[in-house]
Structures are given as structure tokens and as C-alpha cells.
Amino acid sequence: MTGDGGRMAEQPVDIPTTWSALFSGGRECANAKETVRLLTPSALKNVNVPAREAGPLSNTLTLALVLCEPSEGRALAEPLSRLAGPALQQVARDFGSLRPAQVINVLSFVNAQECAGVLEGLLAGSPVEAWLEALMKVRRTLHEDLAYRCGLVALALGPPELAARFVGGGALTEDFTPGQTFGFNVQGFVRYLATARLRKAPAQEVRPAWEAFVEAFPMKAAAGTLEWKDLFWAARAYFAGLEGRPVARVGESLHARVKPA
């Protein structure tokens, strides 16, 4: 009992901080699937305001795609794919009136669909680099987490120099040391992969940094400093950008990497 009128003390929420805990019992996957299924009917009814609907879906759908089997993830993503084109069209039409977070949420929502193999080429056919350059102009107004997310988007879709500008630390140099790791340092990770792209470094020289980022992700997610859509952008930058895998295989590649044996 407590001293506040006899109510029982609230139990602390047990947030998983390891991949083993996230996969344990399938609970997190089941919760994500249920949430996506609950949100989908409303989202499809509001296809005329897709940017608004993409926000809550962008992270939950990505979580489901990471933790659930690829076939399950695609089944969740497919009904929502009809929102992607209209959402990008809304960004193009209303960019000046949308908040930066809304723009990035739409890009993240479409990225999840492309990495799941449900859609192809929508982001490549959109002026993403121009949108990122416009967001760079208001970089000082962005919360650090959002600025770093923009850096991850640029790492996957834009020039490496732009990714570095979003996370700060000065201009990229030609210095690149193979095999470095950065643990919880997202800025260092983004700048390292950006330098690797600039130098056209082979993927095996970057893999330790990617592996360390993946291992640290559950703790960063539990602390609220990274979101699931961030992991998908990093995965696209590594698997597609450095290893050369098809974008449509990024989701299944990431799932296979993080699922405990």
C-alpha cells in the first residue's frame, strides 16, 4: 500500500532493452500487429489526409516489420500501400505548411513499405533531396533526435555531405579507419557511414559499425533516443547503400540479423 489514499503503487513498465527480450514470447510482435490492424481501417478512410495518418503508422509498422516474420510484415503493409503515393503528393503540394516531423514521418512510412518489398521506386521518384535541403535550412529549430533522423534519411537517400550536416561535427574529411564502432554515438555512426560512402569503402570495413549500432538499438529505443523508423533508415543505408542488396530485401535482411538464433 502507499500513502496516497491506500492505492497500490504502479508497477514500473518493463521495457525490453535487448533483442532477446524483444523477441521473447512473440509479445512485442503481436502487440505491433494488433496496433497496425487497429489503425489501418481509419487510415484508409482518411486517404485524403495521408500525411496525418502516416505519423502514427510510420513507427508501429516499422516495428512490426522488424520483429515479425517477413510474410506477416508484408501482409500488414500491403493494405496501407495505397496511402504512400497520396502522402508523397501531399508533401510535394503542402511542404511549406507541414511540420518537419510530418515530412520525415511520410518518408519513413514509404521507406518501410519499400524495404518490405510492397512498393518500389516511390522515394527515388520524389524530390527527397530537395526536401532535405529545405529542412537543412531550419536545422537549428529541429530537436536533436529529429535532426539525427534527417541525417539517417540523407544517409540512405541523399548525398553523404548532407547527412553529415544534419548531425553536425563539421565537414567530412577523407580520413576513414576501417572497423571502427560507435556504440551509442549516433552522430559518430552517421558521419562514419557518410565518410564510407564518400570514400566508396567496401561494406566489410563498415560492418563492425553497423553491427554495434544494431546491438545498441534496443537500449536507445527504450530510452526514447531512437525510434524503429531510424533503424530502418540505417538498415537501408547499410544493406542497400553499402552491401548493394535490393531495397525490397532490406526488411527481411534486418529481421534475419536481429532475430535470436
pLDDT at residue 51, rounded to an integer: 87
pLDDT at residue 6, rounded to an integer: 45
Q: How far is CA 14 from CA 10, 18, 22, 146, 164, in A?
A: 12, 12, 11, 26, 35
- Report how far residue 64's alpha carbon sits from residue 229's, in angstroms, rounded to the nearest whole number: 11
pLDDT at residue 2, rounded to an integer: 41
pLDDT at residue 12, rounded to an integer: 45
pLDDT at residue 71, rounded to an integer: 97
Residue 82, Cβ neighbours under 10 Å: how many?
14
Please give the chain's pLDDT, 261 residues, in tens: 344 444 444 444 578 999 999 999 999 999 999 999 999 999 999 888 888 888 889 999 999 999 999 999 999 999 999 999 999 999 999 999 999 999 999 999 999 999 999 999 999 999 999 999 999 999 999 999 999 999 999 999 999 999 999 999 999 988 899 999 999 999 999 999 999 999 999 999 999 999 999 999 999 999 999 999 999 999 999 999 999 999 999 999 999 999 998
pLDDT at residue 53, rounded to an integer: 87
Q: Which residues contact 95 (CB under 8 A, 6 or more apart)?
A: 103, 131, 134
**pTM, rounded to two decimals:** 0.93
pLDDT at residue 248, rounded to an integer: 98
* Contact status, residue 202 vs residue 182, Cβ threshold 8 Å: no
Q: How far is CA 194 from CA 176, 236, 242, in A?
A: 10, 13, 10
Q: Which three cell numbers stand for residue 98?
A: 507541414
* Contact status, residue 230 vs residue 109, Cβ threshold 8 Å: no
